[in-house]
Amino acid sequence: MKTVRCYYCGSGNSSFYAAENGFQLVKCDGCGLLFVKDRPDDDQISQAHRQGRHAGEKELDVTGRYSPGRVRTYRKVLQDLYGGDMGHIRTWLDVGCGHGEFMLAVQRYASGNIEVTGTEPNVHKQASARARGLNVGYFDLETHGVHYDAISLLNVYSHLPDPPRFLENLIKLLNPGGELIVQTGDTADFSASEHYRPFSLPDHLSFASQAIVVGILERLGFQVIHIRKYPYVRLELGSMLKETVKALLPHFSSRLRYYLNWKKYSEADMFIRARLRN
Ligand SMILES: [Zn+2]
């Protein structure tokens, strides 16, 4: 275990926010970032991600499964972010590509004109993405040495022990004028009772806000081009019925309360498109 300071403003002062799975989430007194201050050391974190499982009071299984609905959702997001104008992008790297839904969305949205590569530490997800014909492996980004026109990180940010340092290293893999797509929650300003659960600690190590992620990108020399926000839960009848059934059954955690407070969570999911200034 080790203790860290806020990675955004550097403050060592924080207040208790919530506890889960034997870990504590604190709120930075300086900038409002939510983060796990006392955490497993980096070796334990990377081992855990490779296996898709984490040691805590209760073991979390974070492998999940492939979702065709997610491919459709991501194509709509790409339309919102690019408006059909992706001609300047030839190569794309998706970091933490999971089962490959976003890679498939990029391939299809660009009509096969973009060569998409994925890296994924979880061996089960790697196999699932490869079974769909995707070019997925797991490589060390620091020694990778290949350059891309665009790099995406979806559902990755909250897992990173030090997002500013990670994003700074990614710049070395971008071509001049290259782009980043960062997706994460805009939830640091929610009160602890409002914040969606579970936090999935210590799989997730921080929860940021739009101001924090934009601030990090600008410090690193990126120009933010588009920010698009989406609901934490989507208004689809099938999912709503499923969550209603789960709410009635013991031993299931249901997202029903997010549907009941839909407006509050309607902008909790954030995609940022940023371009490296030359
Ligand atoms: Zn801070």
What pLDDT is attached to residue 83? 95
What pLDDT is attached to residue 180? 98
- As to burial, measured by CB atoms within 10 angstroms (0-12 exposed, 13-18 middle, 19+ buried), residue 164 is middle
- 10 C-alpha vs ligand 1 centroid, how far in Å? 6
- 267 C-alpha vs ligand 1 centroid, how far in Å? 22
- 130 C-alpha vs ligand 1 centroid, how far in Å? 39
pTM, to two decimals: 0.89
E strands within the chain? 2-3, 14-20, 23-28, 34-35, 38-39, 53-54, 60-61, 91-95, 115-119, 135-137, 148-154, 174-185, 206-207, 222-230, 269-276
Beta bridge partners of 226: 273
> Both tokens of residue 106?
């990029």
- As to burial, measured by CB atoms within 10 angstroms (0-12 exposed, 13-18 middle, 19+ buried), residue 77 is buried
- 7 C-alpha vs ligand 1 centroid, how far in Å? 7
- 66 C-alpha vs ligand 1 centroid, how far in Å? 35
What pLDDT is attached to residue 64? 80
The one-digit pLDDT tens for each residue of the chain (278 residues) are: 899 999 999 999 999 999 999 999 999 999 999 999 999 888 777 766 665 655 554 555 667 889 999 999 999 999 999 998 998 999 999 999 999 999 999 999 999 999 999 999 888 999 999 999 999 999 889 899 899 999 999 999 999 999 999 999 999 999 999 999 999 999 999 999 989 888 999 989 999 999 999 999 999 999 999 999 998 766 667 777 777 777 777 766 677 777 677 677 778 899 999 999 97
Class of domain 64-276: alpha beta
> Both tokens of residue 140?
């060390």
- 208 C-alpha vs ligand 1 centroid, how far in Å? 10
